[in-house]
Amino acid sequence: MKRHDFTLILSEVAELTDQLVEDLYEAGCVDGSPSSRAGVVMVTLHREAESLEQAIRSGIADVQKAGCRVARVEIVPEDLAEVAPAAETTEARARS
């Protein structure tokens, strides 16, 4: 498995609290670093998975288990090479 680095930007979260950090950890974001900048709460994950798509999907699922929603995903440049094939696969599945 490969390590994938990406950041999940949370929506509808006003501030990063100790309780939220604990909730994220308990939900499975043990490989993440929650942070806040300019009123935006995010979790940077360093997730082991077979593909970037699997890593992102599992990260989003863990954030949702903590009671949060993901507004968007920011991907570290070295993982961008995997995005195009994953997007094509997802698009093909959506058309089926």
Domains, the chain:
2-95 (3.30.70.100)
CA pair distance 45, 60, nearest whole angstrom = 10
| CB count in 10 Å sphere of residue 84 | 9
CA pair distance 17, 27, nearest whole angstrom = 15
Query: What per-residue confidence (pLDDT) applies to 14?
Result: 86
Angle value at C-alpha 13, between 44 and 72, nearest 5 degrees: 50
State yes or no: pLDDT of 72 exceeds 60. Answer: yes
Higher pLDDT, 57 or 79: 57
State yes or no: pLDDT of 45 exceeds 70. Answer: yes
Query: What per-residue confidence (pLDDT) applies to 66?
Result: 97
When the pLDDT of each residue in the chain is averaged and rounded to a whole number, the result is 87
Lowest mean pLDDT among 37-41, 52-56, 80-84, 88-92: 88-92
